[in-house]
Amino acid sequence: MEKTAQLKEFLKDLFSSQRLAVLATQSKKQPYGNLVAFMATNDLKHLLFATTRATRKYDNISSNPRIAMVVDNRSNREADFHQAAAVTATGVVKEVEGAEKDRLQKLYLAKHPYLKEFVSSPTCALLKVEVETYYVVRQFQNVVELHIKK
């Protein structure tokens, strides 16, 4: 079993090196996937992303806040079958507001400064995933779970 500290360092490295994640939402028993620009908080308890409130993903989250988010480091080559890693985070998402939004938006824009105009728009929501579990898959079949304590 992999040590928790090593696993957390792996997650931090992966999350800092990747800009996009696949967000999975659900509505009326139908799954829906989107690419989103994301960032992780240093304690790994939260993942952040932004979207306008007029999107299907925002609608889906409003009716069912349980989501999954996938981050990987694949290169789309044969070597990925042995070298790529993928992480699925599961949890509950909510829109952040007020002072918390100001604080988290600064963190988000530190990673994605080119999204400043988008994130600053009054139609844009900054969303925070409260991660419950990370499922880490490496070397094609090696799966490890990391449960995040609140």
Q: pLDDT by residue for the chain (150 residues), tens digit each? A: 458 899 999 999 999 999 999 999 998 889 999 999 999 999 999 999 999 999 999 999 999 999 999 999 988 888 877 788 999 999 999 999 999 999 999 999 999 999 999 999 999 999 999 999 999 998 777 889 999 976
Q: What is the CATH number of the domain that holds 69?
A: 2.30.110.10
pLDDT value at residue 139: 77
Looking from the CA of 131 toward its CB, the CA atoms found within 13 Å total 23
β-bridge mates for residue 91, sequence order: 67, 131
* 59 close to 80: Cβ distance less than 8 angstroms: no
Maximum distance among all Cα pairs of the chain, rounded to whole angstroms: 46
Q: Which of 16, 21, 82 is nearest to 8 (CA)?
A: 16
Query: Domain range for residue 62?
Result: 4-147
Total domains in the fold of the chain:
1
pTM of the entire predicted model: 0.93
